[in-house]
Amino acid sequence: MDRTPEQVWKECLDIIRDNISRQSFKTWFAPLKPIKLEQDQQSLKLIIEVPSRFYYEWLEEHYFSLLRKTITKVLGSQGRLQYDIVIEKDHLSQKANDTGHLQIPAHPLSSPSQQTSLPFADPRLNPSNQAPRNESPSYQTPMRYAQAPSANVIPLHPAGKAPPASPFVIPGIKKVEVDSQLNPAYTFERFIEGDCNRLALSAGRAIAERPGETSFNPFLVYGGVGLGKTHLIQAIGNYARQNRKIDSILYVSSERFTTEFVQSIQHNRVSEFSLFYRQIDLLIVDDVQFFGRKEKTQEEFFHIFNALHQTGKQIILCADRPPKDIEGIEERLLSRFTWGLTADVQPPDLETRIAILQRKAEDEGLHIAPDVIEFIAHNITSNIRELEGALIRLLAHSAYRKEEIDLAFSKEILKDLVKETKLNLSIEEIQRIVCQYYSIPDDLVRGKTRKQEVVQARQVAMYFSKQYTKHSLKTIGLHFGGRDHSTVIHALQSIETYLEMDMRFQDTLAAIRHKIELQSH
């Protein structure tokens, strides 16, 4: 065998990347690791490590056909894929092996002879069942395993099935009516889908259909302010309530949870507090980063979380940053936050911003000219709350001045919100800023050096020259030591590829962009 698992996997990733969105690629494929390539008489098997059982289920549910085609293309018809699932320690039962891994062959690629070695009696592995599956996203996968018990089943997902009686639920206690605290305006219908939120939204819909029954439990949405986290997590609650999926739903901000908890201590009513939360079927907690450094509250929440999770109740959380960056939260709680699915929401792209503005205008019963919508969408880019703010400001001013909202009017009213986007920088200035960042002399990017660091600085400087100046590829090439335009194109492509593959590079690029924007004013 002459290829390494890494080479094989890289080839697979190259194919996969071309077939799915960048967000999906980053979320589902970047975290996978090739481990081994095994040749036997019947098959050539690539083993990849997946971070959790949930990944495995999602991959099988959504990318089965793509994976099958890819593996066949790269490894030939003998190609097989096997998942090596890393199991969280907390989820392991007594019976689990010590390695914390569980191997499952990918369904469509596994040979029937592998059945006996399977840890699960998986009905899909019936040899007659080799035809490609219908790929409609039914979200049935997660429970399949729970329904197929065998001697070695590791109860990874105890949710839902024969839950142990919670010690806190007093038999016969009557459920009190819970006011959900949901804002009825936050619905799925009013939530515009874009690349920026697609994953979070599709998982949100699945949860709303079957709260507590998917393996997206907990579901944690994170992202910057004004990107729709609160809207989305409440939409799940509103849908579940309207469609009577469950009885008690509660939306609470982490601040309110904290305040109520502190009050319950003061009034000696902690056990009531505790009991109240344990009877919720769908608990939505907003802005969990505020639990940081509140140890007692965290401890209480930790126990409530466990009680709910163990009895198959759905938990939905959101935070303004990725869980690993939330400070002052105990490790055991942080680790639970990521047990299910963690999905981010990103700033919306231009098309999504336009769609949101059109929709908001429609909701207000207004017709706003397309050039005005585009003007706002082009100039207000950071978040959706600001987009809404701009629209409301236009409405208010036009009502007050009894003027129509046209482009000139909008430019005048929004002038302080709209940043000058053309930066008036020269290519040399961009080179200087980039080289300063990499701590190298500027003339190196114009020279011939192929040292890796210089090559990267050169490509980054070309990339920003294209973005921030009006020069043609040819002129940009000339400013980089007389290179031709195809070198510049190659640089732009390389940067796009790094951006997709390497999260740290995204940060680097954002930091440089920030410096360029600062120096241009």
- The residues that touch Mg ion, with contacts defined as CB under 5 A, are 229-230
Element (H, E) at 427: helix 427-438
DSSP letter assigned to residue 27: I
Q: Report the residue closest to Mg ion, judged by CB.
A: 230
Indicate the residue among 346 and 494 with the shorter CB distance to ligand ADP. Answer: 346
Q: Shortest approach of Mg ion to residue 238 CB, angstroms?
A: 15
| Phi, then psi, of 406 in degrees rounded to 5 | -115, -175
Which tokens sit at 155? 């109860």
Q: 225 is in the binding site of which of ligand ADP, Mg ion, none (Cβ under 5 to 8 A by kind)?
A: ligand ADP
Exposed e or buried b per residue across 328-349, where buried means at least 16 C-beta atoms within 10 angstroms of its C-beta: ebeeebeebbbbbbbbbbbbbe
Q: 237 is in the binding site of which of Mg ion, ligand ADP, none (Cβ under 5 to 8 A by kind)?
A: none
How far apart are alpha carbons 226 and 475 in whole angstroms?
A: 39
Per-residue contact flags (x/-) with ligand ADP for residues 283 to 322, judged by CB under 6 A:
----------------------------------------
Answer yes or no whether residue 474 interacts with ligand ADP by CB under 6 A.
no
Indicate the residue among 304 and 318 with the shorter CB distance to ligand ADP. Answer: 318
Answer yes or no whether residue 239 interacts with ligand ADP by CB under 6 A.
no
Q: Shortest approach of ligand ADP to residue 179 CB, angstroms?
A: 20
Q: From the list 148, 176, 225, 366, which residue makes contact with ligand ADP (rule: CB under 6 A)?
A: 225
Indicate the residue among 71 and 201 with the shorter CB distance to ligand ADP. Answer: 201
Which tokens sit at 76? 């030939």
Q: Which residue has the tokens 């050039």?
A: 371
Indicate the residue among 190 and 451 with the shorter CB distance to ligand ADP. Answer: 190
Q: Which residue has the tokens 């709680």?
A: 333
Using N-to-C axis directions, what is the helix angle for 503-519 and 427-438, rounded to 10°? 130
One-letter-per-residue 3-state SS of 69-135? HHHHHHHCCCEEEEEEEECCHHHCCCCCCCCCEEEEECHHHCCHHHHHHCCCCCHHHCCCCCCCCCC
Q: From the list 385, 401, 411, 474, which residue makes contact with ligand ADP (rule: CB under 6 A)?
A: 385
Q: Shortest approach of Mg ion to residue 309 CB, angstroms?
A: 23
Count of residues engaged in binding ligand ADP, rule: CB under 6 A:
15
DSSP three-state, residue 356: helix
Q: 212 is in the binding site of which of Mg ion, ligand ADP, none (Cβ under 5 to 8 A by kind)?
A: none
Exposed e or buried b per residue across 224-263, where buried means at least 16 C-beta atoms within 10 angstroms of its C-beta: eebbbbbbbbbbbbbbbbeeebbebbbbbbbeebbeebee
Answer yes or no whether residue 230 interacts with ligand ADP by CB under 6 A.
yes
Q: Shortest approach of Mg ion to residue 182 CB, angstroms?
A: 13
8 Å CB contact between 454 and 489: no
Compute the radius of gyration of the chain from its Cα atoms: 27
Indicate the residue among 175 and 385 with the shorter CB distance to ligand ADP. Answer: 385
Indicate the residue among 13 and 288 with the shorter CB distance to ligand ADP. Answer: 288
Q: From the list 68, 229, 313, 479, which residue makes contact with ligand ADP (rule: CB under 6 A)?
A: 229
Sign of dihedral through CA atoms 317, 57, 143, 116? negative
DSSP three-state, residue 219: strand
Which tokens sit at 108? 């469509």
Amino acid at 456: Q
Q: Shortest approach of Mg ion to residue 11 CB, angstroms?
A: 42
DSSP letter assigned to residue 20: S
Q: 231 is in the binding site of which of Mg ion, ligand ADP, none (Cβ under 5 to 8 A by kind)?
A: ligand ADP
Per-residue contact flags (x/-) with ligand ADP for residues 194 to 223, judged by CB under 6 A:
---x--------------------------
Q: Shortest approach of Mg ion to residue 316 CB, angstroms?
A: 13
Give residues 341-360 in contact with ligand ADP (rule: CB under 6 A).
356
DSSP three-state, residue 283: strand
How far apart are alpha carbons 265 and 54 in whole angstroms?
A: 37
Q: Shortest approach of ligand ADP to residue 353 CB, angstroms?
A: 10
Amino acid at 149: P
* Number of helices and strands in the chain (H, E): 21, 9
Indicate the residue among 229 and 353 with the shorter CB distance to Mg ion. Answer: 229
Q: Shortest approach of ligand ADP to residue 349 CB, angstroms?
A: 12
Q: From the list 142, 226, 312, 323, which residue makes contact with ligand ADP (rule: CB under 6 A)?
A: 226
Indicate the residue among 79 and 204 with the shorter CB distance to ligand ADP. Answer: 204
Q: Shortest approach of Mg ion to residue 68 CB, angstroms?
A: 40
Instruction: Give burial (CB, 10 Å; 0-12/13-18/19+) of 451.
Output: exposed
Answer yes or no whether residue 36 interacts with ligand ADP by CB under 6 A.
no
Q: Report the residue closest to ligand ADP, judged by CB.
A: 228
Give residues 162-191 in contact with ligand ADP (rule: CB under 6 A).
190-191
Which strands form 314-319's sheet, in the order they lie side by side? Answer: 249-253, 282-286, 314-319, 219-222, 341-344
Q: From the list 79, 142, 211, 228, which residue makes contact with ligand ADP (rule: CB under 6 A)?
A: 228
Q: From the list 384, 390, 434, 491, which residue makes contact with ligand ADP (rule: CB under 6 A)?
A: 384
Q: Which residues bind ligand ADP (CB under 6 A)?
A: 190-192, 197, 225-231, 356, 384-385, 388
